[in-house]
Every structure is written in structure tokens, then in C-alpha cells.
Amino acid sequence: MNSSHSLLLLISVLLFASVAHSTSKGKPPKINAKTDKWEIAYRLNESVTLPCQADGDPTPTYFWKKNNEVLNTSGSHYTMQSGNLVIRQTKQGDDGEYKCFAQNEHGIAFGLAMKLQAAVINAFSSGVTHVVKPSVGDYLKIPCAAPHSYPKSTPYFGYNPPSSSHKLQHIENNDRVMLDYNGTLHFANVFLNDSLDYIGDINYVCVLNNPNLGTYVQGGDYKVIPQVNTGSTDPRGPMLRWSEYLVTAIKGTTKLLKCIFSGLPTPVVTWHAVDMLGKKIDRFTVTQPGAVTGPEIQLTNIDVSDEGRYTCTAENPKTHVRANHTIQLEVESSPYWARTLLDRYVDEEDNVEIDCEAHGRPKPIIQWFINSVPVNEQSFTGRKSLSGYKLRYRSVTVNDSQVIQCLASNQHGAILENIVLKVNAEEPSFMETPKDKKVVAGTTVQFECNTRGAPKPTIEWFQGIPLSKVSGSRFYIQDNGRRLEIRNTEIEDSNTYRCQASNKHGRNSATVVLMVRSPTSIASNQVNKVVRATEEVIIPCDVTTDQNEFSSLVVEWLRNGRRIDFKTETHMYMDSTRSLRIKSSKVTDTGEFSCNATNGLDSATSATSTLRVRDRPDSPHNVTILSCNVTTAEISWIAGNDNNDQITEFTIYYSGNFSSGNKTYHPGSTVEPGSRYHDQVSVHPWSRYTFHVTATNNIGKSDLSKVSGQTCNTRSVPPDRNPTGVCGSLSSAQQLVITWDPMPENEHNGEGFHYIVSYRRYGSSDGETKRNVEDSKQKSISIHGQKEPFALFEIYVRAANRLGTAPMPDKQLVRSGEGKPQVIAQNFKLVEGSVNGSSAQFFWDPVDTSEETVRGFFRGYRIVFWKSAEPNIRRSEDILINKPFELCHLQLTIPPPALRRRRHHHHHHRHVRSTDRVYGSTSQLWPLSDISAAVQVLNQANAGPDSNVIEFRTPAGAPGKVSNLVVVERGWSHLIVKWQLPLEFTGDIVGYNVDYSVVTPAVGTSSHVQINDPNQKRYKIQRLDYLTKYRISVTAVTVAGLGEEESVIGETLPMNNPDAPKIINISTLDNSANVSWLHSDLQPPLNPGSEFFVKFKGPDNSTVVQVFYPDQDSDDNWANVTGLEKGKYEVWVTARSGIGEMERETNSRSWIVLIGLNNTVIAPTTSELLIYHHASAGWFIILMCIIALLLLVLLIVCILRRTHGDMYPVYEKEKMWRHHPLAPDETPFGEYTPSSDNPHLGRSQGSLDSDEKPMESDSDSLEEYEDQDASKFNEDGSFIGQYTGKRKPGSTKPSAINTSV
């Protein structure tokens, strides 16, 4: 290195060292824009752009050098655009070598030199036309002395057509005529038409083209005049005319090799190539398209392995002479880097080695530059050294930041790389902060402490609070502290861990948290189940996981290794225990099941459970009729799937229906399974049969198979049997009825089927009488005109068709119809003391039971009875002595020796027969009624005349069930039930019994309440448990005793504060107030109270008056308070539920009442006054007296009617309200009403669903407000008040009976 270079290098290093010392941040420049055009041809007077782009921090600035001299780019000819050099209006003097430089405060980079040269092409030196006269068949070459051209071009030959309108035409190359690589045109042998005379007076022209200039020049014309001489057509052996001996190719390029031979005929050229080791080379191709031989070959993308000897061989088939030539191919290459050269970003105190090794043929020369200043081995001392292609730095400092250029070159080209060396000096920081981790105990966990800093930081690990260095046999610190690894983790390893990095510039740390969780596991609950289809299947999945990860636990079920989609498998679901439940199992559910559990940290898989679902088999298929005869058919089939349970039998079903509609199939033969399935089935003549087959296993029978494809048609024959069930019927005395069971169509055996019915009086000498019955479905025939009832006949029924009759059947004995008994029972009487509300016992004398008097078979007696006032409405009770007459088996008919007892119309009775009396009883009598009764004699079909009639009266009876028992209100500590009278009147109701108990589980005994008021049909049950079901039973009571019990289930509500009551009206007088309210401010109520209190806060703001709500049987929601002093009162209603510690109360909104001060009432919902002015209290007193008088009159009437005992309470109650219960425009409620002649015996059973309502009764008031009853007693049991006043909501009338306070 000369002294000027050394001085420049020193200044450059000092300059950039001072800058680098001031800051370690930033980046030296790096040239990015590259081009493969290091030699650029340009056209004069055009613009040329030379590329140069660089990165760096700060952004680099640019300058250019031409032939190592700095260019002035501030003028108009040379300008820069973002680093690119633009040369405008190029001129001849722009030729030269251009180089780009980029610099910033951290260094200088430069690009590879680009050679710029103007494109040029010279003209041919001479325009003389050369004439050549070769002999036909001889070899000929035409040279071309091409002028200078840049870039270099290869000439070619053409000719100018005679017409000036045609362009220059090329001479096409072929095996006979071709150019060599110098531009000489060769003819392997001359043809006559090579003169081009057939085109015109044409010369061969040498042409040189310059693509950069877009122009060409031509010259060196040749006129070819072939001569025909003796021997012109004689064959000539091949001879090499042109080729190369040593060829150099550049690696990665394409190379052409050519051998030109002369000869006649034109020689065929083939090629053979071997590499330096004698290995055959096959990578070359002949340049002529589609040919396998030719004078020229091509090698593409040449590599060193293509070096070798390429031999061309020419052969003329007529001379059998060969000629060959060998070309030696050597492969060289332009320089290329041995490895990718990368920028080096290093930390202070690092050692750096920059390797700039390059390869090429010949071996490249390496040149080094630092910030564009050339350096050599003598340029470095101390920490830096240069040796060949390696530049080394020891313990770099920030002053070493620079741009290093490495240039490798040989004769084929050069490559340049700008290598940025950037030295960092900074305190430690984290490139990525370590992350908290959750792992499963027993696994390995790693924490990465990825830091940066210059010099490289020292890393230490600490744990816990207070901090302590990480230590232990399971803790490993790796990669110079960069990684902490904990193996076989334990729960106790859960802790905080700190990574601390430090160097001479500072210290930094990061803390992470490790959470170690217990592993997920599934208990080994392997299940192997075999179930029937539709059974529910439960396969457990007993999963345990760390309690901290339980919310993240996800369980999925697999069947045969595939996840179960519960959206499509709707009959499967996973229950709350994560067990798999199959609600209605199917055969397709058969398989292996397992559950997978994961919480995001780990997972577990259960042991495999197997499930086999058995079901009835699939239907057989391919049912085929193998043979069809008159009485048998042979059927075959193929079994379907057994559905996991072995088939035990097959059943063949047949149908012989003639109709084309729905057919009925009947079971035929049964077959055990085998390898071939077939069997014979019995069939009937004159039938058309189709067949089904079913399969049966231990689970059940399959569906019918598809019907057999063919039909089995059997021929006609006479019937082979007669009808069965031949018998008679005892209808009337003048008829003989013969019956039989019709024969099915498949037993007719032919057309024209009919029955032959024969009969004759038993013991008569007359012949048989026969009748034909053509209707095959007819099952009886009646023969009229019989003179004697119950006569004996012998009969038979025979089957026949057009082909003949069935065998003669056996004869049967039957009787003709019975007459009406003529005998009458005598001395029919009532057993004394046997009558109650529904039953009585009777006795009478026995009768003569002979056929003559009974006119048939004696069965027994019939007691008939009716209300004396309604003789057309009768009931009866049969007293049967003998079994029914066996008409079809006369020889077996033996009268029973003993009397029998029979239940009739679902009522039990008793009868006793002795030698002089017959006893009988009934339990179907009407209570409280005048009864008439008689007895009749019975035969099989008829009853005789009435005996003597007796009369008696029944007392009252026990009542039936109450009707319409419902729960009308539910609270959390009470239930209210209501009911109506029994539907059937059995006597006056004197009261009711109410019983209630917990439904389940049964706790203690039932509670009992007795109601002695027959008008009370409502009861509030209090002090109940919340959310509990109770069975409530109500029983009506008459003087005859308890009736049937009716029950209803009611459930209390959840425990909560009762709804707030709603005061709807307050009316006042001078010393009293009448308060009306609704149970709840919500409609319908959600949780009504059980008890209600009316509370007054007095004028002195201290006295509170409480009034309990009225009696159980009251529907009222009002209370009247008297004895109030003059003044202002605050009034509200309190609802209460429960007792003791569970007691809950809610108050209504309060009203303001002014007693004695114009009796004003102020509602809470408005600012206006609701004022009631009573001009005179006298009118009010008169009105109360009138009401009291009316109530007294009604009370007296009721007492008088009740003492007569002939008035049902509901009827009187309806009359009291001027509402007749049988009014045509009203719908009755099913209560008892009088008939036209006896008001106690009639009843009304109108629709209970009618929309019409009766007028209000004593229990109707405020019913729409869902009444609530309250206790009559305060907490210490003392009586507080009683309210009997009844009114509609909103009424201002106080009750006639008041409670004073």
C-alpha cells in the first residue's frame, strides 16, 4: 500500500472512530441496488441511468466517481436521483468506468464499477462482388470480412430479393449449408440451385447487425455459379472443414459446439462425449429441432462436470468412409462467494472474523477496502489482522464500526460485497420478557431469559421472596444462564423466579411465576356392557384434576376413536358427572368408548369400555318361491343382520287375500337357522299367495321382509271342511235360528262357494229341509213359523262350491226360540228392618220351573223397582238360579244343584232360596224416596209379568264426593281450597271434614278439621311448610254418616315476603271506618299473605290499633272499625306469612283518614282528596236498620224451611237472591234443585265450563280478589273481632255488626 492510501485510511478510521465514540447507535450504509450489467452500451444523445440504492442510519448520502475522479452531479449532464446517476444526452466522452459511493457518519460503502461505452457499428470496407464457380458436388466456403461493432455481433448471410418491396432474406442453415462461429458460410456440397437463379440475378450478402443501435450493415457480395463437370455426381467421402479444438465455457452459461464436414451425399454427423474420468456425458442436445443427429450440439447451464472430450463423427453411407474430430471443453467461472457474506452486528469485547473466501476459475484475487479505502496485510497491527481472505478483530470497541468492502475478481468478472460491521455498547435489556408458566407436576419446564446488551450480559437466576439463588439437583442453568430448566417439577416448585442480567453499563431483571398443578387422571372404571336396544346406558368418566384448573376442564367422548358429536347423536349426552348417557341405545351404538379430559395443561384418556347393543334382527331379504303346489309351497330367503344376538328361528308368513288392498299375513312354518334358509308352507287351493319372512332372536322378532317377488297361484278343488261353531239362538218363540262360523275365503277352494243348511224336528219322520246360503260371509239363518217354543231340532251346515261339497258333517241338536214366562211369583214382600238409604231385602214364594210354565230354560228372578212418582224409570236386580242354557251342547246341559250369587250393574246383592221362600236384595235404591217394587220370573231370553207390588220409603243416605274441589290460592305458608256440593242428593249436608298431610315423604299423621257449617265450602290451611306438596281431602257429612272422600294436591310457594296488600277504598262515619283491600298489589298475586291486619295510627301518633281478618268461611276483604275518636289517622293493611322465626310481614301503602273532620279520606296515589260527605247520619242509621230487618226475615224463613226437612239449602239460597236455579238463561252449577212434584229429588247438572255466572251468594263476595282468611285470635288467643257483613268491593256500606276498638 502506498503512503497516500495509508494516510487516507488513517484519516477515515479516525473520523469514523470519533463519530462512533459519540454514539453506538445507528447503522453504516449498505448498498442494495445491484445489476448484472457491468458493461453497458449506450446510444448517443439518449439518457442512461446507473442504479445505486443504499440503507443506513442515518440515511446515507451519495457521490459518484468516473475513472476514479469524483463527478460533479450538480450540473445538467450528470444528475443524481435518490442515489441513481442519470446521464442526460449522452456523448462520446461519456465512455469510462463509473462507481457509486454511499456514506454516513458510520462508514462508506461503494458499488462495483460499471463500464460505460458507446455502441457503434462500422461499414464494410469494400462493395466489390466476388464471383465463384465451384463444381457441382464440391465443397464451397464464402468468407465474411465483418467490420468493427460494439457490442460484438456475429455476421450471417442473406440475399436481397429482386423486388425492393421485399426485406433482406436469411440463408437458412441446414446440414449441407451452415455458418461457422466466425461468419463463414460453408457448403458441404454444391447444388446447381445454389446459384439462386431460380429466384433471379441474386448474390449472397454478408450482414452484420447491432441490436443496441437497432441497425445493420451489409457487404462482401458473392456470386455463385455452379459448374457441372465430369464426375460431379461421384460420391465424396466426409472431410472436416471447420471446428474448434479447445473451447472454454463459463459455468452457468449455454455453449454451442459445431463440426462442419464436406462430402457427397451430405454426411450424417453424430456426437459422443466423455468427461475427464472417461464417464459418458448425455446432457447435450442437437440444436436442430426434433433431430437426433446434426453438426451442432448445445449444453445449457454448464457445470464443471461437463468438462471433457466431445467427438463428432461424420459418415457418408455411399462411401462408407468416416471422419471424426474431438473438441476439448474446459469450464471456467466468474468469481462467486464460498459462503454468504453477512453484515456483522456484534457487541463490545466480542471477537470478530470476516471470511471473504471466493471461488472461480481461474482463482479470484481478493481485494479489501475499509470505508472504500484499499487496505492490505500491512495496514493492521495490534487487535486487527488481515490474512488472505480473513479479516480478524479482537475485543472490538464501538470505534470499530465501519463498512468493509471485499472485491473478488478474475478474467471473467468481479463481485463486490459491502459488509457492515456494527459494534453495540448498551446496558442489558430483554429482547423478550420471560412468560409465566403453568405446568403439570412431573414434567420439565424451561424459562428463557433472552437478553441483549453490549458487552454480553452475565445472567443469574433467583427465586422466592426474599430472593435466593436458584439451587437444587432438579434445577439446571444452561446456555450461560440464558435458560433455567426445572426437571421433574413438584407442587412445591410453585414460586416466583427472577432472571437478572448485568454488564458494565448496567443491570436489568425480569420476574416470572411458575404454577405447578396436579396431573389430570381418570379412574379405571372400565365397563363392558351388553344391553338391549332402547335401554339406557351409563359409562362413567371419573375425572380428577387440579382444583385450580377445574373450571378449564373439558371432557369429550370417543367412540371407536372418533369424537362423538352430541349435536348429531341427539340420543347421547354427557351428564353433570361427565358420564356418557345413551338415552335409548341402538345397535349402531355398539363399539369401544373412551373419554378424554384436558384442562389446557395436560390430558388423560380413560380405559376403553365396550358396549354391545342387542336388538331384534333385521328383516330377511330375497324371499323367493321355489315351488307352488295345491297344498304346499316352498320358500327360500337370505337372513338379515342378527344385530348382535343370534337368530333362533325364522317364521314364514303368507297372505291369500284376493283383494288388491291391504293384505293380512298369517304365520306359517317356523325354521331354525342354517346355511341355506328354506321351508315348506301349507297353502289352500284356489288362492293367490304372497309371502313374508321374519327372523327372531332373544330380543324379539324382526319386521316383515319385503314381499316375495312372485305369487303362488293354487288350483280349485271342492271344500275340504265344513263350517264350525254350528249352533242356534233363543230369539223368539216363533223362530228357529241356526248359526255358524263363516269360513274364510282362502278355504272356499273354488268359485261358487255356498252353505247348505239342513234342519228337521227332532224325532220327526219328516225329511230334512235344506236351504242354500250363497253369501259366504253370512253366519245365521232364521226360520219363521214355529208353533211351539223351545222345540228340539237336528241340524247341520255343509260347505260346497262348483266342483263339489265337503264331507258330510255331524248333526247338531238345537232349540227354537223361548216364549215369555207365564208363571208369576207369589207373596212378594219386604224383609222387615232391611231398608236403608240405598238397599233393601225381599222374599217371595218359589215358582214352577218346568219348560211349559217358563216357556224356556229357567234362569232365576228379577227384582224391579222405581220411584212411586216416576213409574216409567225402572231399575232392576237379577237373582240368577241357573247357569246360562248351553244351546249348542244340549246333552251336557245339567241344571246346577245350588243357588248362585251374581253381581249386576256393578252392585253387590244377596239371595237365599229355601223350600218355601226365595230371598233377594238390591243396593241401587234412591235415598229419601217413596219406592215401588215387584219380582219377575226369568228364562234365557225373557222376563215374565210383575208380581204383586209393594211400596216403602228410604231414609237419607251417605253423600257422594264433593264436586269441583280445587286449590284457589297458594302462599308459602298457606293454601286455600274451595269445593261444591256432591252431584247427587242423598240427604241434607250437615258439614264437612277436611284432612291434609304432606304428600312425600309421609311425615307424621294427617291433620283433621271438622266444619259444622253446611254452607261453608272454602277453607284456608295455615302454618304449612314452604315448597311442600300436601294432599288435601274433603268429605261431605249427612245424618247418615260420612260420604266418599275427594282429594286434591296443592304445593306451597318458596319462602319470601308476602305481596303488599292494596287498599282500594275507605269509607268513614263520625266514629268508625270501613276499609276494603286486595290481597296483593300485583294481579295475579305472586305470593299472597296468610293473615291480614288493619292498622290505625291515632291522632297522638302513638296508638296503633290492629284488627284480625274475618272467619274461615268468609270471602270478604274488608273490616269495619268503630269507636274511633275525632282526629287524623294513618291507615294501612299488613300481610303476614309464617309464624315465629319464619314470620314475614309486608305493609300496604298507607291512607290518611280524618274522623269527625268532614270524614275525609286521602288516597296515597293522588294529591286530590277523595271526600265523602254525609249530610245526615240519620239516613245511614235508617239504612242499616232496613238491612238488619231484611236479614232477620230471611233468617226466620230459612229456619222454618229447614225444620220441615224438605228444602235443600242451595235451592233456598238461590231463591233468597231472587235467582231461580233452573232459570233458562242461566247455567246451573250442578247443585240440587227441586223437580216439578218433589223439590228434593230433582237435580241440575249444567256445564261447569259455562262463561255465565250466577248471582252472588254468601260465599261469592269479592271472589275475584282471591280471598284470604285470617285468624280470629291474637297471639295470646284472645278474641279480637268478628265480621259478618257482606258487600261488593267499593261499597261504602258498613256491616250491620261492627267491632269496637
Nearest to 808 by CA among 847, 780, 768: 768
**Distance between CA 1082 and CA 1092 in Å, rounded?**
16
The confidence score (pLDDT) of residue 1128 equals 86
The confidence score (pLDDT) of residue 12 equals 45
**Distance between CA 415 and CA 433 in Å, rounded?**
42
Nearest to 783 by CA among 800, 749, 759: 759
Contacting residues for 86 by C-beta, under 8 A, at least 6 apart: 47, 48, 49, 50, 78, 79, 80
AA identity, residue 1286: K
Question: How far out from the chain centre does Cα 1104 lie?
Answer: 64
Element (H, E) at 854: helix 851-854
The gap between the terminal CA atoms of the chain, to the nearest Å, is: 132
Calculate what percentage of the chain has a pLDDT beyond 90. 51
What average pLDDT score do residues 65-76 get?
Answer: 91
The confidence score (pLDDT) of residue 13 equals 41
**Distance between CA 255 and CA 260 in Å, rounded?**
17
The confidence score (pLDDT) of residue 910 equals 38
Residue 18 reports pLDDT greater than 50: no
| SS3 state of residue 561 | coil
The confidence score (pLDDT) of residue 1040 equals 84
As a whole number, the mean pLDDT across the chain is 82
Residue 1074 reports pLDDT greater than 50: yes
Cell output for 180: 461457422
**Distance between CA 623 and CA 636 in Å, rounded?**
6
413: β partners: 410
Q: Enter the pTM of the model.
A: 0.41
What average pLDDT score do residues 1032-1043 get?
Answer: 91
What average pLDDT score do residues 698-720 get?
Answer: 90
| More reliable by pLDDT, 357 or 1126 | 357
Residue 881 reports pLDDT greater than 50: yes
Q: For residue 919, name the pLDDT band (cuts at 50, 70, 90).
A: very high
| SS3 state of residue 501 | strand
Are 839 and 922 spatial neighbours (Cβ–Cβ below 8 Å)? yes
The confidence score (pLDDT) of residue 778 equals 95
Give the burial string for 535-559 (b: 16+ CB within 10 Å, else e): eebebbbebebbeebeeebebbbbb
Contacting residues for 576 by C-beta, under 8 A, at least 6 apart: none
* Tens-place pLDDT, residues 752-765: 999 999 999 988 88
The confidence score (pLDDT) of residue 659 equals 46
Nearest to 124 by CA among 218, 194, 35: 218
Residue 914 reports pLDDT greater than 70: no
The owner of cell 468492502 is: 405
Contacting residues for 739 by C-beta, under 8 A, at least 6 apart: 725, 726, 727, 728, 729, 779, 780
What average pLDDT score do residues 1019-1046 get?
Answer: 91
What average pLDDT score do residues 511-536 get?
Answer: 92
What average pLDDT score do residues 1233-1262 get?
Answer: 36
DSSP per-residue string spanning 172-229: PP-SSEEE-TTS-EEESS--GGGG-TTT-S--EEEEEEETTTTEEEEEEEEEE--B--
| More reliable by pLDDT, 473 or 1 | 473
Residue 1290 reports pLDDT greater than 50: no
Burial class (CB in 10 A: 0-12, 13-18, 19+), 998: middle
Residue 1221 reports pLDDT greater than 70: no
Q: For residue 15, name the pLDDT band (cuts at 50, 70, 90).
A: very low
| SS3 state of residue 1189 | helix
* Tens-place pLDDT, residues 125-166: 877 888 999 999 999 999 998 899 999 888 999 888 776 556
* Tens-place pLDDT, residues 836-880: 888 999 999 999 999 889 998 899 999 999 999 999 999 999 998
Q: For residue 1154, name the pLDDT band (cuts at 50, 70, 90).
A: confident
The confidence score (pLDDT) of residue 1294 equals 34
What average pLDDT score do residues 951-964 get?
Answer: 91
The owner of cell 411465576 is: 513
The confidence score (pLDDT) of residue 1000 equals 77
Nearest to 1039 by CA among 1204, 924, 928: 928
Residue 1273 reports pLDDT greater than 60: no
The confidence score (pLDDT) of residue 842 equals 96
Residue 57 reports pLDDT greater than 50: yes
What average pLDDT score do residues 954-976 get?
Answer: 91
Q: Helix 1209-1216 to helix 1177-1204 angle, to the nearest 10 degrees?
A: 150
The confidence score (pLDDT) of residue 162 equals 73
Cell output for 1143: 314470620
The confidence score (pLDDT) of residue 1243 equals 36
454: β partners: 426
Distance set, CA 101 to CA 73, 366, 418, 973 (Å): 13, 20, 11, 100
Residue 1007 CB: number of other CB atoms within 10 A? 15
Cell output for 1038: 249427612
What average pLDDT score do residues 799-806 get?
Answer: 95
Q: What are phi and psi of 458, to 5 degrees?
A: -90, 130
Contacting residues for 78 by C-beta, under 8 A, at least 6 apart: 64, 71, 72, 85, 86, 87
Residue 718 reports pLDDT greater than 90: yes
3-state SS string for 1260-1278: CCCHHHCCCCCCCECCCCC
Are 1077 and 1118 spatial neighbours (Cβ–Cβ below 8 Å)? yes
Residue 1112 CB: number of other CB atoms within 10 A? 19
Q: For residue 944, name the pLDDT band (cuts at 50, 70, 90).
A: very high
The confidence score (pLDDT) of residue 916 equals 80
Helix, strand, coil distribution of the chain in percent, nearest 5:
10, 45, 50
DSSP per-residue string spanning 653-689: EEE---SSSPPP-EEEEEE---SSEEEEEE--SS-EE
The confidence score (pLDDT) of residue 37 equals 65
Residue 1021 reports pLDDT greater than 80: yes
* Tens-place pLDDT, residues 616-635: 999 999 999 999 998 899 99
Q: Answer positive or negative: Cα dihedral of 588, 589, 590, 594.
A: positive
**Distance between CA 438 and CA 519 in Å, rounded?**
12
- Specify the range with the lowest mean pLDDT, choosing from 256-270, 903-917, 1019-1033, 1069-1083: 903-917
The confidence score (pLDDT) of residue 1282 equals 34
Give the best-scoring range by mean pLDDT among 17-31, 602-616, 1084-1098, 1212-1226: 602-616
- Specify the range with the lowest mean pLDDT, choosing from 116-125, 280-289, 327-336, 753-762: 280-289
The confidence score (pLDDT) of residue 889 equals 64
The confidence score (pLDDT) of residue 1218 equals 31
Q: Answer positive or negative: Cα dihedral of 321, 325, 326, 327.
A: negative
Q: What are phi and psi of 742, to 5 degrees?
A: -60, 145
Burial class (CB in 10 A: 0-12, 13-18, 19+), 903: exposed
CA geometry: angle 739, 741, 743, nearest 5 deg: 135
Strands, sheet with 647-655, edge to edge from the N-terminal-most edge strand: 666-671, 647-655, 688-697, 712-713
Are 339 and 390 spatial neighbours (Cβ–Cβ below 8 Å)? no
Are 1119 and 1283 spatial neighbours (Cβ–Cβ below 8 Å)? yes
- Cα torsion for 1280, 1285, 1288, 1294, to the nearest 10°? -80
CA geometry: angle 1026, 1030, 1035, nearest 5 deg: 140
Nearest to 110 by CA among 334, 374, 393: 374
Are 159 and 196 spatial neighbours (Cβ–Cβ below 8 Å)? yes
What average pLDDT score do residues 416-434 get?
Answer: 89
What average pLDDT score do residues 404-432 get?
Answer: 90
The confidence score (pLDDT) of residue 1139 equals 83
* Tens-place pLDDT, residues 1084-1141: 888 888 888 888 888 777 666 666 655 555 666 788 888 888 888 889 999 899 888 8
Residue 1045 reports pLDDT greater than 80: yes
The confidence score (pLDDT) of residue 935 equals 97
- Specify the range with the lowest mean pLDDT, choosing from 211-220, 228-237, 882-891: 882-891
| SS3 state of residue 715 | coil
The confidence score (pLDDT) of residue 165 equals 58
Residue 1143 reports pLDDT greater than 70: yes
Pairing of strands 1062-1068, 1073-1078: antiparallel
